[in-house]
Amino acid sequence: MVQRKQDMIFGFVGIGAALFAMWQSYQYPPDSALFPLLSAAGIFICSLMLLVISGKNKSSSGDEKVEGINIRSALTFGLIVLIYVFSIEKMGFFSSSFLFVLVISMVWGGFGKGVSIRFSLIFAVIFTILLYVTFVKIFTVPLPKGFLL
Amino acid sequence: MFEHLASSLSGTLVFANIVAMTLSTAAGIMVGALPGLSASMGVALLIPFTFTMDPLTGLLCMAGMYNGAIYGGSIAAILINIPGTPGAVVTTFDGNAMAKKGQGRYALETAVICSTVGGVASALALMFIAPYLAALALKFGPAEYFWISVLGLSTIASFLSGSTVKGLFCAFAGLFVSTVGIDQISGVFRFTFDNMYLMEGFPEIVVLIGLYSIPEVFTMLEDVAAGKTAAASDSELGQTKRKEEKRWTFQNDFKDSIPTWTRSSIIGIIIGIIPGAGSSIAAFISYKEAKRKAKDPESFGKGNVEGVRAAETANNAVTASAMIPMLTFGIPGNVVTAIMVGGLLIHGLHPGPNLFVKEPMIVFGLMWGMLITNFIMLALGYFGSGIFAKCLKIPTVVLAASVAVLSTVGTYSLNNSMFDVYSMLCFGVIGLAMRKMKLPIAPAVLGIILGPLAETELRRALMIADSPVEIFTRPLSFFLFALTLLSLFYPVLKARMGARGNKE
């Protein structure tokens, strides 16, 4: 996607979000609505300006390609993070964190090609022990406990 | 006010604080040395650790992390030609060239000594300027405070972003996010959609960790997938051990360094006070000045030690001076100090002139912390640069996984709430989208931090004023309003003047 097209999409989304925020703000007493209204109006004006600028900007800078995203990495990372976060309360913070570090370093470490599995395992164990000592023993933070630790 | 400065020293120099400053400075150097981890992310991740500490100890930890990280960026810049932090970009110009000539250890020693000089000068400026400014700020009314926060936002939106419009968009979005939750003045629930978790709004630290950590973790993993990691080779790290090469000596280097130290410290201090300008800008200006004054400007970029001196003195001279607007007006000068405001708030401390009156021991203790951590940094950097350089061998993938876990546990430990963790992840996705769409994160962060102050002061000003126009027409308000307009239109004026210059 080129920069100009992305800015136009962004401008339209901004206008929609600002209008929704303004409509919501009108439901509050005037005193409480003032600041959200001002902020939403600011978003609206900036989005409109972005649309106008990207409409006019047909030069080479507007047709620059924007930085893409590695979809495969994004989906894999998103899935692993979601499983990690939802498993914290079920399995316990330390066991799920240990598995998370291990899985991330194995998947992105090329299953032993880039980062050895032995290193990943040792690092995950030491890191989890450090977390336990720091948060449980030193800072006495109550962390979620599940059926494991 | 200066009697507090003297009396707070004994409170700062207790054993627990010295240990905390040493550990956090070491952690800061490590964070700075690792490309991909920044000072802002380091401070954001550190704040949850300080939650259970005494407020002063917590702030001293942040001071150590900040100073250490800004210096630590030079280690990777010199050894592997990749700046550990944005402020160390300029250090790569001559630092790496020196390393390639076999003067890596000399460059590292120069970097830590110059960083210390810049940091000490900046801390002294903080100690002697801030109390006077705070006394002046006590005379400000709500309208002036409102305009100062708007000015802080507009300068960051204009100068830190490639596009003023995008910068302003993010600033307004940040201001809007800050309005979610209970209205502190009227008690009305705004944008909570009957969700009890949203009633207190989004905690600043949760948003900051999400915006800074998660995109960084994903970028690191993307780089690993693309084979673009910054692991150092043994020969590059071996530079720190060579015994026969040139070293920093008092006789050879001290006298030659004085003009650069003086010039670069002044540049760094001034740039630090200006909201929006940061350590990288200070380093660039200082480097240009050093080159202009040099007898052999053509040797810059080819391993001239003056280049390292200028860059490292200036980027560390920004650290404490950036706290001057934060401590005196409550307006952070850059992203790191904006995050530190979040750190102050979780300890129940509201930055601004009243803090000098209510908690002088903490304010002046923090100033001592900014000074003392420089000397800790000098000792750690001078004798331990080889150890910190070894961090460059840590595989990026385990670093990314560790940051993700620390972000999760740090966020959870703030309120023992999984909702905060989910919010942090949502802001992480937003931060990633902003990064990919080239939208600046700094104005959004500042909007979130300054939103409550700006709103409260605006409403107080309107309550006091006979007419809304009065908030523009009070002499100081008008001056600040004019400065705000100037900061917004400066990029346009500069572009027009540049275009006219080219035509002529």
Element holding B298 (H helix, E strand):
none
Closest residue in chain B to residue A69, using alpha carbons only:
B436
Q: What is the pLDDT of residue A113?
A: 66
Q: What is the 8-class DSSP label of residue B334?
A: S
Q: What is the pLDDT of residue A18?
A: 95
Report percent pLDDT > 90 for chain B: 34
> For residues B453 and B120, is the Cβ–Cβ distance under 8 A?
no
Q: Are the Cβ atoms of B458 and A28 closer than 8 angstroms?
A: no
Return the higher-pLDDT residue of A61 and B119: B119
Q: What is the pLDDT of residue B154?
A: 86
CB contact, 8 Å: A2 with chain B?
no
Average pLDDT over residues B213-242: 74
> For residues A58 and A2, is the Cβ–Cβ distance under 8 A?
no
Q: Could you report the per-residue pLDDT of B121-133, keeping only the tens digit for each?
A: 999 999 999 988 8
CB contact, 8 Å: B183 with chain A?
yes
Chain A, window 90-109: residues with a beta carbon less than 8 angstroms from a chain B beta carbon: 93, 97, 100-101, 104-105, 108-109
Residue B228, pLDDT > 90, answer: no
Q: What is the pLDDT of residue B50?
A: 87
Please give the structure tokens belonging to residue B312.
């490292």
Q: Could you report the per-residue pLDDT of B205-223, keeping only the tens digit for each?
A: 899 889 988 998 998 888 8
Q: How far apart are CA B311 and CA B242, in angstroms?
A: 24
Rounded to the nearest angstrom, the gap between the alpha carbon of residue A55 and the centroid of all alpha carbons in its chain is 30
Q: How far apart are CA B472 and CA B80, in angstroms?
A: 52
Average pLDDT over residues A15-21: 95
Residue B502, pLDDT > 90, answer: no
Burial B316-338 (b: 16+ CB within 10 A, else e): bbbbbbbbbbbbbbbbbbbbbbb
Chain A residues in contact with B222 by the CB 8 A cut-off are 69-70, 73
Q: How far apart are CA B438 and CA B364, in angstroms?
A: 39
Q: What is the pLDDT of residue A61?
A: 57
Residue B496, pLDDT > 90, answer: no
Return the higher-pLDDT residue of B349 and B244: B349
The whole-angstrom distance between B147's CA and the closest CA on chain A is 14
Q: What is the pLDDT of residue B469?
A: 86
Q: Where are the beta strands (DSSP E) in B217-339?
A: none
Q: How far apart are CA B220 and CA A1, in angstroms?
A: 23
**Which candidate in B46, B50, B169, B185 is best for mutational testing of the A interface (most A CBs within 10 A)?**
B169
Mention every residue, 6+ apart, whose C-beta is less than 8 A from residue A14: A43, A44, A46, A47, A50, B169
Would you put residue B26 in left (φ > 0), alpha (ψ -120 to 50) or beta? alpha
Q: What is the pLDDT of residue B250?
A: 76
Q: Count contacts between A and B (CB, < 8 Å).
A: 162
Would you put residue A140 in left (φ > 0), alpha (ψ -120 to 50) or beta? left
CB contact, 8 Å: A142 with chain B?
yes
Residue B76, pLDDT > 90, answer: no
Q: Are the Cβ atoms of B169 and A50 closer than 8 angstroms?
A: yes
Q: What is the pLDDT of residue B243?
A: 55
Q: Could you report the per-residue pLDDT of B262-292, keeping only the tens digit for each?
A: 999 999 999 888 876 678 888 999 999 998 8
Return the higher-pLDDT residue of B161 and B345: B345
Average pLDDT over residues B149-171: 83
The whole-angstrom distance between A127's CA and the closest CA on chain B is 8
Please give the structure tokens belonging to residue B277.
């300008």
DSSP sequence for B389-417: HHGGGS-HHHHHHHHHHHHHHHHHHHHT-
Helices (H), B34-103: 39-50, 55-80, 89-100
Q: What is the pLDDT of residue B238?
A: 64
Calculate the CA dihedral of residues B51, B53, B59, B63 and round it to 10 degrees.
-100
Q: What is the pLDDT of residue B242?
A: 56
Q: Are the Cβ atoms of B190 and A28 closer than 8 angstroms?
A: yes
Chain A, window 24-83: residues with a beta carbon less than 8 angstroms from a chain B beta carbon: 24-25, 28-29, 31-32, 34-36, 38-40, 42-43, 46-47, 49-50, 53, 66-70, 72-74, 77, 81
Return the higher-pLDDT residue of B392 and B380: B380
Q: Could you report the per-residue pLDDT of B313-352, keeping only the tens digit for each?
A: 999 999 999 999 889 988 887 888 888 988 888 888 888 8
Q: What is the pLDDT of residue B432?
A: 92
Q: How far apart are CA B148 and CA B156, in angstroms?
A: 12
Residue B239 binned pLDDT confidence (cut-offs 50, 70, 90): low
Q: Are the Cβ atoms of B455 and A120 closer than 8 angstroms?
A: no
> For residues B321 and B272, is the Cβ–Cβ distance under 8 A?
yes
Report percent pLDDT > 90 for chain A: 48
Residue A127 binned pLDDT confidence (cut-offs 50, 70, 90): very high
- Reference B53, options B349, B378, B358, B417; nearest CA is B349
Average pLDDT over residues B130-148: 87
CB contact, 8 Å: B463 with chain A?
no
Burial class of residue B412, CB neighbours in 10 A (0-12, 13-18, 19+): buried
CA B163, B168, B171, B172 torsion-angle sign: negative
B169: helix, coil or strand? Answer: helix
The whole-angstrom distance between B468's CA and the closest CA on chain A is 13
Q: Does this model's pTM top 0.80?
A: yes
- Reference B322, options B78, B81, B66, B116; nearest CA is B66
Burial class of residue B24, CB neighbours in 10 A (0-12, 13-18, 19+): buried
Q: What is the pLDDT of residue B246?
A: 74
Q: What is the 8-class DSSP label of residue B81?
A: S
Q: What is the pLDDT of residue B329?
A: 86
**Which candidate in A13, A19, A81 is best for mutational testing of the B interface (most B CBs within 10 A)?**
A81
Please give the structure tokens belonging to residue B245.
């090469």
Q: Are the Cβ atoms of A142 and B416 closer than 8 angstroms?
A: yes
Q: Are the Cβ atoms of A10 and B437 closer than 8 angstroms?
A: yes
Q: What is the pLDDT of residue B504?
A: 59
> Mean pLDDT over all residues of chain B?
87
- Reference B319, options B287, B271, B382, B365; nearest CA is B271
Question: In DSSP terms, which residues pair with B363 in a beta bridge?
Answer: none
- Reference B321, options B113, B127, B481; nearest CA is B127
The whole-angstrom distance between B12's CA and the closest CA on chain A is 21
Q: CA angle at residue B257 from B389 to B245, to 5 degrees?
A: 45
Give the residue carrying structure tokens 């990372």: A77
Chain A residues in contact with B183 by the CB 8 A cut-off are 28, 32
Q: What is the pLDDT of residue B236?
A: 62
Chain A, window 5-24: residues with a beta carbon less than 8 angstroms from a chain B beta carbon: 6, 10, 14, 21, 24
Q: How far apart are CA A149 and CA A129, in angstroms?
A: 12
Closest residue in chain B to residue A70, using alpha carbons only:
B222
Q: Are the Cβ atoms of B436 and A69 closer than 8 angstroms?
A: yes
Residue B393, pLDDT > 90, answer: no
Q: What is the pLDDT of residue B241?
A: 59
Q: How far apart are CA B431 and CA B44, in angstroms?
A: 14
Residue A148, pLDDT > 70, answer: no
Q: How far apart are CA B116 and CA A90, in angstroms?
A: 48
Chain A residues in contact with B454 by the CB 8 A cut-off are 35
Average pLDDT over residues B455-479: 88
Q: Are the Cβ atoms of B221 and A77 closer than 8 angstroms?
A: yes
- Reference B315, options B86, B157, B60, B23; nearest CA is B86
Average pLDDT over residues A130-143: 85
Side chain identity, residue A42: G
CB contact, 8 Å: A132 with chain B?
no
Q: What is the pLDDT of residue B52?
A: 83
Question: What count of residues does chain B have?
Answer: 504
Side chain identity, residue A55: G
Q: Could you report the per-residue pLDDT of B28-72, keeping only the tens digit for each?
A: 999 888 877 888 888 988 988 888 889 999 999 999 999 999 999
Average pLDDT over residues B368-381: 95
CA atoms within 13 A on the CB side of B53: 23
Burial class of residue B90, CB neighbours in 10 A (0-12, 13-18, 19+): buried
